[in-house]
Amino acid sequence: MENKQKAIGIIGGMGPMATADLFTKLIQMTDAACDAEHIHILIDNNPKTPDRTGAILHGTESPLPYLIRSANRLQTAGADFLLIPCITSHYFMQELTEQIEIPIMSMIEETAKQLQSSHIKKVVVLATDGTRKAKVFDRVFVKYGIEICYPCAEAQSALMDVIYKGVKAGSSAWDMTALNAEIDRLLSAGAEAVVLGCTELPLAAKMYGINGVLIDPTDILARAAIIYAGYKPKD
């Protein structure tokens, strides 16, 4: 059995709380009765990785060399496959994959599979400006027949504040009125669920409250990774 179990590598730091959230979910969701039954997990938490949205929208320093270095560190340290708890970073995933020898599990792909199996066909996606412009979700979801609707410009600006000035800045409280009103409008127009399309947003949902039936890609990725690593997730 031992030789079938895989070690997980996490390319982290984007941001640190989102990385900790994935790590915590991997532990909490693994069906283990003692320490020795948990998964071997390696984490490279580098918060100095350049901002992904800035690179996509404004051509600032690319995070790709940092992602490659992190992936190589984890591979050298013994990781069998990689997870990236940063959705905007998935824009660089193809180039990253070409530079390493071990697979990367896509948070976007796993979320699309889960939505399809749940027969959800139309969702609100809450994501960074960079993720939206790069169509990170759109390129994958279209293959699964899932329609995406995004917040209006005003609500999108409010969403970016939730991510950057709220969660990433460590704010314990945040006014969600404008964003939640837009979510309610989109749900009333036919969306079935809300995808938390930035890894800070599951944290925002707990701290500040986000309306709707929430789909947590970090949670979905953790469950898929546990299975791929050769372990059993809790029911």
Contacts of residue 176, defined as CB under 8 A and 6 or more positions apart, other chains included, come to: 162, 208, 209, 210
With CA atoms as reference, report the closest residue to 121 among 229, 23, 195, 32. 195
* Structure letter (DSSP) for residue 41: E
How far is Cα 15 from Cα 230, in angstroms, rounded to an integer? 27
Which tokens belong to 137? Answer: 């979700």
Helix (H) or strand (E) holding 214: strand 214-215
Handedness of CA 82, 134, 57, 193 (dihedral sign): negative
Q: Which of 34, 86, 149, 152 is catalytic?
A: 86
How far is Cα 60 from Cα 76, in angstroms, rounded to an integer? 29
**149 is known as an active-site residue:** no
Q: Which of 34, 149, 152, 198 is catalytic?
A: 198
Question: Three-state DSSP class for 51?
Answer: coil
Are 28 and 48 in contact by the 8 Å Cβ rule? The answer is: no
Contacts of residue 183, defined as CB under 8 A and 6 or more positions apart, other chains included, come to: 124, 126, 151, 155, 194, 210, 211, 212
How far is Cα 124 from Cα 190, in angstroms, rounded to an integer? 10
**34 is known as an active-site residue:** no
Active site residues: 86, 198
